[in-house]
């Protein structure tokens, strides 16, 4: 992965040199950012809006594998994962802080590559990088990102806000990122056994992209706003649909009914799952890392939601005593459980 290109030691710049270099690459874009990188703390102001804060810690070997994740993609994805949490409150992220721990295994060029991904994400999503921390670590790469967003109080969608009979909606399609990971892992093990064999990703671009370069669904938040839809509850799908819908059920003290035939699954996900002897529905339910939005809306919004192509209605909320269940294509009913959800047919 690390080709022997030009290599500059980060120590030749020093910590402050590095911070200065980062600051220059990231111009401030939002009026809510009063003061960015350079002082003991950043200053924000967004008048009458609520402030939302979310943070993530990403560890090499646990959350990412640098043998197949390019650093630029890692920078981009790290930001996406974090922005997704703010969008999942029906809010708009505007600032992030990025803290890094890395060893001298990482050259300045490697760190630059990481920040290129961060910069691309910041430009696309109009996010200001307003601070962070930089430290050396003994071995692996450590990334911590915090994002800050804003929303009007009455628009915020919590996990606990679902109401009985609400329609359950999901953006995009599910299961593709999980299959992308399976393919990357498979090619990695083939490569480790025989380094002369080049990875074979033919026709799997969509799956690989969903794994390496997910997009946080800010577009969905904009569409809901423009259609005058305020979701009752919302969560982003990081651990898989099953696990996330259970969070909404638990927090809202309700049950749910989800219909297998309504699950949005891309045709490439279906065919690749079959090739790998996996059930596409199980991939969609438990795969994880889709970073799509799962939310509930009032049944009164049905006519509006059904016209939005990016959104699928997959079921509805129900009384708690009914439990959380999946209705299969064969019209059987199964309990949704958070993980290890196999052989339900
Ligand atoms: P302190 O000693 O007060 O923690 P630092 O020297 O760590 O100060 O940071 C100085 C400024 O640079 C602060 O604004 C901080 O948020 C910012 N900063 C430090 N590291 C990073 C980084 N990796 N990315 C962005 N900003 C950073
Ligand atoms: Mg510091």
Q: Give the pLDDT of residue 342.
A: 42
* Pair 43, 146: CB distance under 8 Å: no
Looking at the predicted structure, is the pLDDT value of residue 5 above 90? no
Looking at the predicted structure, is the pLDDT value of residue 301 above 80? yes
The percent of residues above 70 in pLDDT, for the chain, comes to 97
Question: 5-14, 18-27, 246-255: lowest mean pLDDT where?
Answer: 5-14
Interval between CA 274 and ligand 1 midpoint (Å)? 48
* Pair 130, 34: CB distance under 8 Å: no
Pocket test for ligand 1, best of 133, 134, 137, 145 (most atoms within 8 A of CB): 133
Give the start-end residues of each E strand in the chain.
Answer: 33-35, 43-44, 50-59, 92-102, 128-136, 142-151, 167-171, 233-236, 255-259, 293-297, 311-318, 324-327, 333-335
Interval between CA 134 and ligand 2 midpoint (Å)? 6
The span from the CA of 345 to the CA of 343, in Å, is 6
Pocket lining: 39 vs ligand 1, CB cutoff 6 Å: yes
Interval between CA 16 and ligand 2 midpoint (Å)? 10
Q: Which atom of ligand 1 is nearest to the CA of 100?
A: 23
Q: Give the pLDDT of residue 194.
A: 84
Nearest 5°: CA angle at 213, between 211 and 217?
100
- What rounded mean pLDDT belongs to the chain? 94
Average pLDDT over residues 257-276: 97
Looking at the predicted structure, is the pLDDT value of residue 340 above 90? no
Average pLDDT over residues 110-116: 97
Pocket lining: 3 vs ligand 1, CB cutoff 6 Å: no
Q: How many other C-beta atoms lie within 10 A of the C-beta of residue 219?
A: 13
Ligand whose nearest atom lies closest to the CA of 22 = 1
Average pLDDT over residues 30-55: 97
Question: 120-124, 287-291, 341-345: lowest mean pLDDT where?
Answer: 341-345
3-state secondary structure of 261: helix
Q: Give the pLDDT of residue 114.
A: 98
Q: Give the pLDDT of residue 64.
A: 94
Model pLDDT for residues 47-90, shown as the tens digit of each residue: 999 999 999 999 999 999 999 899 999 999 999 999 999 999 99
Ligand whose nearest atom lies closest to the CA of 23 = 1
Nearest CA, atom 10, ligand 1: 38
Pocket lining: 163 vs ligand 1, CB cutoff 6 Å: no
Q: Which atom of ligand 1 is nearest to the CA of 16?
A: 6
Pocket test for ligand 1, best of 26, 37, 100, 112 (most atoms within 8 A of CB): 37
Q: Give the pLDDT of residue 105.
A: 93
Model pLDDT for residues 130-139, shown as the tens digit of each residue: 999 999 999 8
Ligand whose nearest atom lies closest to the CA of 115 = 1
Pocket lining: 40 vs ligand 1, CB cutoff 6 Å: yes
DSSP line for 313-344: EEEEEE-GGG-EEEE-TTS-EEE--SS-----
């Amino acid at each position: 992965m690390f080709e022997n290109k030009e290599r500059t030691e980060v120590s030749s710049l020093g910590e402050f040199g590095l911070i200065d270099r980062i600051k220059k690459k990231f111009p401030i874009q939002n009026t809510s950012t009063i003061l960015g990188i350079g002082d003991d703390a950043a200053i924000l102001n967004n008048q009458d809006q609520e402030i939302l804060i979310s943070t993530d810690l990403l560890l090499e070997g646990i959350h990412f594998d640098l043998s197949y994740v390019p650093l630029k993609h890692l920078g981009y994805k790290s930001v996406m994962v974090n922005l997704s949490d703010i969008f999942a409150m029906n809010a708009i992220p505007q600032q992030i802080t990025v803290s890094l721990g890395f060893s001298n295994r990482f050259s300045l060029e490697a760190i630059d590559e990481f920040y290129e991904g961060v910069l691309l994400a910041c430009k696309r999503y109009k996010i200001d990088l307003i601070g962070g921390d930089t430290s050396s670590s003994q071995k692996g790469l450590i990334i911590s990102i915090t994002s800050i967003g804003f929303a009007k109080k009455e628009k915020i969608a919590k996990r606990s806000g679902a109401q009985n009979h609400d329609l359950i909606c999901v953006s995009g399609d599910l299961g593709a990122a999980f299959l992308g990971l399976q393919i990357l892992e498979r090619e990695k093990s083939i490569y480790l056994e025989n380094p002369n064999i080049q990875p074979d990703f033919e026709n799997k671009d969509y799956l690989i992209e969903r794994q390496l370069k997910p997009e946080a669904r800010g577009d969905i938040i904009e569409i809901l706003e423009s259609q005058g839809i305020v979701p009752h509850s919302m969560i982003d799908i990081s651990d898989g649909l099953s696990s996330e819908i259970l969070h909404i059920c638990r927090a809202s003290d309700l049950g749910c009914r989800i219909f297998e035939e309504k699950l949005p699954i891309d045709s490439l996900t279906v065919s690749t799952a079959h090739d790998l002897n996996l059930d596409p529905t199980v991939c969609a339910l438990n795969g994880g890392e889709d970073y799509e939005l799962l939310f509930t809306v009032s049944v009164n919004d049905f006519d509006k939601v059904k016209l939005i192509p990016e959104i699928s209605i997959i079921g509805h909320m129900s009384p708690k005593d009914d439990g959380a269940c999946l209705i299969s294509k064969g019209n059987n009913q199964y309990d949704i459980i958070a993980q290890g959800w196999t052989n339900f047919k």
